């Protein structure tokens, strides 16, 4: 039995000699290419995330529903918040592009690992910002309900209901509905971000681990 095992080992060793062995440079180059591709996809997704919703929004501009929807006294604050939102998103897109350009240049392992860590941190900050933006957007409506009941009166169904139920009770109900909707929507988008960016970040982490192993 032992003789047969030794024969199998020798046979495997002979086959192993003919297998291609990747050099340090070859592995590094493969890892660099994969990292560059991942960051490129992060950039593409972030741009699509900014452009697509705004293209859909253009379909509603000028319609009756669009004209009737407003934030009352909170309108100016919400517009300022939107301007700030687009400025920050464009900043993050620029950062992703910058990371992509940096990683696209063949570099040594230490610098590549540093850039991977920097990219992962930028993506995490971007996801946190987007989720916070969702909650803040819903908060504008919630605050608006308290300080300006005209927001509720924009909806025909609310006006009809107000004839039967006190408007104050409708306001409280609307606040709870929007608060719950905001939390649920943020959780849903958190799941979407986890699937999109989380998958890409895990791949970057694998590349980082591979580079770190090469440095040992």
Q: Please give the average per-residue pLDDT across 167-185, as a whole number.
A: 82
Q: What pLDDT, on the 0 to 100 scale, is given for residue 5? A: 43
Angle at 18 between CA 12 and CA 21, to 5 degrees: 105
pTM of the predicted protein model: 0.73
Q: Which residues contact 29 (CB under 8 A, 6 or more apart)?
A: 106
SS3 letters across 65-93: HHHHCCCHHHHHHHHHHHHHHHHHHHHHH
Closest CA to 201 of 140, 132, 124, 126: 124
Answer whether 42's CB lies under 8 Å from 96's CB. yes
pLDDT tens-digit readout, 177-206 = 888 988 999 999 999 898 889 888 888 888
Pair 189, 49: CB distance under 8 Å: no
Distances (CA, A) of 145 to 75, 80, 170, 173: 12, 19, 10, 10
Reported as a pLDDT band with limits 50, 70 and 90, residue 51 is: confident
pLDDT of residue 123: 92
Report pLDDT for 164. Answer: 66
In whole numbers, what is the pLDDT of the chain averaged over residues?
A: 75
Instruction: Name the helix (H) or strand (E) containing 46.
Output: helix 24-58
Q: Distance (Å, rounded) from C-alpha 146 to C-alpha 143?
A: 5
What per-residue confidence (pLDDT) applies to 68? 46
Q: Which is it for the CA torsion 197, 203, 209, 214, positive or negative? A: negative
Highest mean pLDDT among 16-25, 31-40, 69-78, 207-216: 31-40
Question: What value does the mean pLDDT take over residues 30-56?
Answer: 83
- Comparing 27 with 127, which gets the higher pLDDT? 127
């Amino acid at each position: 039995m032992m003789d047969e095992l030794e024969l199998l080992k020798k046979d495997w060793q002979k086959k192993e000699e003919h297998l291609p062995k990747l050099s340090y440079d070859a592995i590094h180059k493969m890892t660099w290419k994969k990292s560059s591709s991942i960051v490129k996809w992060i950039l593409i997704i972030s741009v699509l995330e900014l452009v697509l919703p705004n293209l859909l929004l253009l379909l509603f501009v000028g319609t009756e529903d669009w004209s009737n929807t407003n934030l009352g006294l909170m309108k100016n604050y919400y517009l300022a918040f939107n301007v700030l939102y687009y400025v920050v998103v464009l900043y993050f897109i620029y950062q992703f592009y910058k990371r992509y350009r940096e990683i696209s240049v063949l570099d040594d392992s230490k610098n590549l690992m540093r850039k991977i860590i920097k990219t992962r941190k930028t993506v995490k900050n971007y996801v946190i910002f987007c989720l916070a933006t969702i909650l803040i957007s819903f908060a504008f409506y919630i605050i608006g309900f308290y300080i300006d009941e005209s927001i509720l009166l924009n909806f025909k169904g609310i006006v009809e209901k107000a004839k039967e139920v006190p408007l104050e009770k409708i306001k409280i109900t609307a606040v709870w509905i929007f608060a719950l909707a905001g939390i649920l929507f943020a959780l849903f988008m958190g799941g979407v971000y986890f699937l999109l960016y989380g998958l890409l970040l895990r791949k970057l982490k694998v590349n980082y681990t591979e580079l770190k192993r090469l440095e040992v």
